[in-house]
Amino acid sequence: MAIDLTDRTALVTGSTQGIGEAIARTLALAGAHVGVNGRDRAKVDAAVARLAAETGADRFFPAPADLATEDGEAELAEALPHVDILVNNLGIFGAVPAMAITDDEWRRYWEVNVLAAVRLIRRHLTGMIGRGWGRVLNIASDSAVVTPEEMIHYGTTKTALLAVTRGYAKHAAGTGVTVNSVIAGPTHTGGVEDFVYQLVDPDLPWDEAQRRFMREHRPQSLLHRLIEPEEIANLVAYLSSPLATATTGAAVRVDGGYVDSILP
């Protein structure tokens, strides 16, 4: 199968590193022009330069904005009014004891992990429907289904994204626009390395720390390893393409078998 996104414009939120950067790279290699987003302009510019050098593709452009705020979203919309492929990857996570999650933390997680995606969908979905083609991908998590005790606030926001996805897919029904969630399993990123070391001995070498983390804290995984960001990006590229026209309103798993279910 050939994934061809030539002449499509994509916005990948939170794409200066990790899963978002891998998604931006993969979409560009399939022919899309990709907006690289982050709050810090210097980091965004560095990521654009790094991605262009790695791929040899002149298809990346900076899209800096703090999308956890209404003002930031409005500023980006003025600079980037047309989006064919919207990938809501922006998210924060961290381990906090269940009874210690404050109201302020709940609000912060809701703004970043849910409302940032909702604002962008609201902004761009009407245009996609008017053009008769578009893709919205919300990057969820296994924590949306298997709520971790140490990250109840995070898991709750990712569960909400599944409902957001299903609702907006119904709004776009029959228009040529698809709206899907990608349920990512435990993935190897810099942020996750930090998270792993919050839960296991910080003096352990990385390979040993990863194995211990998966054994003690994510034993449901059938991979017995962290997923690489490129493995998430490959599924996103497929769902962003014309090949995935019959998949919408779905929560598609790339979780290494972490969610113990025979259903998608």
SS (H, E, C) 47-111: HHHHHHHHHCCCCEEECCCCCCCHHHHHHHHHHCCCCCEEEECCCCCCCCCHHHCCHHHHHHHHH
For the four alpha carbons of 191, 197, 198 and 202, in that order, the dihedral sign comes to: negative
Catalogue all structural domains in the chain, each as residue range(s) with its CATH number: 9-187+230-254 (3.40.50.720), 190-226 (no CATH)
Instruction: Round to whole Å and give the CA distance between 246 and 244.
Output: 6
Q: Among 104-108, 116-120, 170-174, 192-196, whose mean pLDDT is lowest? A: 192-196
Q: Among 139-153, 157-171, 189-203, whose mean pLDDT is lowest? A: 189-203
Instruction: Round to whole Å and give the CA distance between 182 and 206.
Output: 27
Residue 264 has pLDDT above 80, yes or no: no
Identify whether the C-beta of residue 95 lies closer than 8 Å to the C-beta of residue 195. yes
- Predicted confidence at residue 192, as pLDDT, reads 86
- Predicted confidence at residue 252, as pLDDT, reads 98
Across residues 148-172, what is the average pLDDT? Answer: 97
Across residues 209-218, what is the average pLDDT? Answer: 93
Q: Name residue 85's beta-bridge partners.
A: 10, 135
Question: 162: which 2 tokens?
Answer: 């599944």
Binned at pLDDT 50, 70 and 90, residue 195 comes out as confident
Active-site residue identified among 154, 168, 238, 258? 154
Residue 191 has pLDDT above 90, yes or no: no
Question: 52: which 2 tokens?
Answer: 């262009």
- Predicted confidence at residue 258, as pLDDT, reads 94
Q: What is the mean pLDDT of the chain?
A: 96
- Classify strands 134-141 and 85-88 as parallel, antiparallel or unpaired: parallel
In the chain, helix, strand, coil percent, each to 5?
50, 15, 35
Across residues 79-83, what is the average pLDDT? Answer: 97
DSSP, res 218: -
Instruction: Round to whole Å and give the CA distance between 10 and 83.
Output: 6
Sheet holding 33-36, edge to edge: 60-62, 33-36, 9-12, 85-88, 134-141, 177-184, 251-254
Identify whether the C-beta of residue 236 lies closer than 8 Å to the C-beta of residue 13. no
pLDDT in tens, 105-138: 999 999 999 999 999 999 999 999 999 999 999 9
- Predicted confidence at residue 179, as pLDDT, reads 99
Identify whether the C-beta of residue 27 lies closer than 8 Å to the C-beta of residue 236. yes
Binned at pLDDT 50, 70 and 90, residue 190 comes out as confident
Residue 197 has pLDDT above 80, yes or no: yes
Tell me the pTM.
0.95
Reply yes or no on whether 154 is catalytic: yes
pLDDT in tens, 16-67: 999 999 999 999 999 999 999 999 999 999 999 999 999 999 999 999 999 9
- Predicted confidence at residue 10, as pLDDT, reads 98
